[in-house]
Amino acid sequence: MPVGTLASVKGVPQDILEELGVQILLGNTYHLYLRPGVEQIRRLAGLHCFMSWPRAILTDSGGFQVFSLNDLRRITEDGVTFRSHLDGSEHFFSPESATAAQIGLGADIIMAFDECTEYPAEPERARASMELTLRWAERSKKYFEEHKHEVPWTTTHVEADALVRLGERSSPAPSDSAELNSPGRARAPVPTRAGETQALFGIVQGGMDPALRKESAERTIALDFPGYAIGGLSVGEPRTLTREIVEATLEHLPKDKPRYLMGVGTPEEIIEYAKLGIDMMDCVLPTRAARHGLLFTSQGKISIKQARYAGDENPLDPNCNCRVCRRYSRAYLRHLYASNEVLAQVLNTVHNLSFYLDTMRGVRHSIGLG
Ligand SMILES: [Zn+2]
């Protein structure tokens, strides 16, 4: 899942994401809650309509950002008080309010509100954190069951039609091309889904202790979610330990439900995790690295800022068939980056996403072949 924090994969328009074969995007509840705000998106019929993205979306619970972006957070049994990184204003997330925010945003898959245990953590601290996450999972699920029909999809068809009409009115009339280019016509149709509801996934915590992970998995499964995530990893621990804990957790999660590893990884790692049985992953790495000129290719990582590429007429990756590699040379990409052109970020991100998606297509093909 490419990461589209603020309802946007930075620098890449939705039609190109579709062309790349992106099937699902991740949005961050914490960021969207602060800006533009949940009520704003709800009034615009939910994230799909708002960002003109008819394919799937997953939102995180906001917990991870609250813990990673806020030094002044206060955690109680009830929830977390935190300050906005935008203006310092005080806010409160509980399992109920974080679930309400995710229902209002209207993604397809939403996450239970959890506490991401820091690394390193003492054994007593890891257990207390895991127990809190379990109590919060129960509260998230209870709130979800009572409010799941409030998802803005139920009114989607009415509001989406209104939006399309609005777009058509404001565009200059007749001529075929003008009509095709009008905002109303360009808006991706979002199917009406009245009666359907979102899927709420549970999150396994337990720090770096395999026994706690097993207990967390078993007790989260007992709450009965349609999918399970492994949280609390990629928080600064060595990669060998990440893998160890993933393996120790996976064996206790049902094989017939999606198993989602949050916040990984490099192209090599996502292949490894898929091999272990992980079905879903999200990571800012392909997009963030692209904006810093770090590109993943079939021949290894390339730092496009290096002077050695200044006269290089080759495509970025001769084995990549993306629109960037088909059209531009390394020399041009290096020039764009060195000149701080906006296009550098766009093209680099398109290639890196393409490389990641190709990697996962390869994984699925291999699985298909047994
Ligand atoms: Zn490419």
Q: DSSP per residue over 224-268, as a string?
A: --SSEEE-S-SSS--HHHHHHHHHHHHTTS-TTS-EEETT---HH
Question: What does DSSP say about strands 74-75 and 259-261: parallel, antiparallel, or unpaired?
Answer: unpaired
In the predicted structure, residue 172 carries a pLDDT above the cut 60: no
- Rounded Cα–Cα distance for residues 245 and 262 (Å): 13
Specify the pLDDT at position 149. Answer: 95
Average pLDDT over residues 273-300: 97
Question: What pLDDT, in 10s, does the model give residues 32-74?
Answer: 999 999 999 999 999 999 999 999 999 999 988 888 877 778 9
Q: pLDDT above 90 covers what percent of the chain?
A: 85
- Residue 104: count other Cβ atoms within 10 Å of its Cβ: 23
pLDDT value at residue 249: 98
Q: How far is the CA of 273 from the centre of ligand 1 (A)?
A: 23
Q: How confident is the model at residue 186 (pLDDT cuts 50, 70, 90)?
A: low
* 279 membership: H or E segment, kind and range: none
Instruction: Return the pLDDT at 181.
Output: 42
Q: What's 157's DSSP letter?
A: H
Helices (H), the chain: 14-20, 29-34, 38-43, 47-50, 63-69, 95-105, 123-147, 156-170, 176-181, 183-186, 210-222, 239-250, 267-276, 285-291, 323-327, 330-338, 342-368
Beta-sheet pairing, 199-204 with 109-111: parallel
CB 112 within 8 A of CB 225: yes
CA of 11 from ligand 1 middle (Å) equals: 16
Mean pLDDT calculated for residue range 10-30: 98
Task: Give the chain's mean pLDDT.
Answer: 91
Output phi, psi for 192, to 5 deg.
Answer: -70, 135
Tokens, residue 176: 């075929």
Active-site amino acid positions: 60, 282
pTM (predicted TM-score): 0.91
272 has a pLDDT exceeding 70: yes
pLDDT digits 0-9 by tens, 89-143 = 999 999 999 999 999 999 999 999 999 999 999 999 999 999 999 999 999 999 9
Distance 267 CA to ligand 1 centre (A): 14
Neighbours of ion ligand 1 (CB under 5 A): 320, 322, 324-325, 351, 354
Quote the ligand 1 centre to 298 CA distance (angstroms): 10
322 Cα to the center of ligand 1, angstroms? 4
pLDDT tens digits for 229-246? 999 999 999 999 999 999
